[in-house]
Structure 1
């Protein structure tokens, strides 16, 4: 299943957390013209380096499919960021 929601939490200097919810589908629809250009550029790069474009797209799809449930946290000094993909 592709990710539906990305949650970003950032700790403010006063210690409170600020949460930002980013829905994946509307953002992907808004950025779809750029996504199309990125796919075309990726296919051209694959052909230039003699890599199978179908294999590269399949690998990117498998990576996207594995993202739900991923969490990563960055904590350095007073700055903390937590990103959770659902």
Structure 2
């Protein structure tokens, strides 16, 4: 299952939270021309560094499928950032 929603939360210095809900599919469709260029650039990098392109694509696919349910949190003295992938 691919991720469907990314939630970004940031606590500002005044204590209020900024929340952004980003749907993955529309963003992916808008950025698809850049995604094709990124895949081609990755394949060229695999050839340059002598890495199996099939293995690299398989690993990227496994990482993409493992993203749903992931949660990243960073907290500093006056600011906190939380990213949740659903």
3-state SS of the aligned residue for 1:37? helix
TM (normalized to structure 1)? 0.94
Query: Which aligned pairs between 1:11-26 and structure 2 lie closer than 5 A?
Result: 11-26=11-26
Structure 1 unmatched runs, 5+: none
2:83 is matched with 83
1:48 is matched with 48
Runs of 4+ in 1 over 2 A off after TM superposition: none
3-state SS of the aligned residue for 2:9? strand
Shift of 1:20: 0.4
Q: Distance in 2 between matches of 1:29 and 1:51?
A: 28
1:1-56 per-position Cα deviation (integer Å, ceiling 9, x unaligned): 11000000111222121210001111111111111001001111111222111110
Q: Distance in 2 between matches of 1:62 and 1:23?
A: 20
State how many pairs are aligned.
86
3-state SS of the aligned residue for 1:2? coil
TM (normalized to structure 2)? 0.94
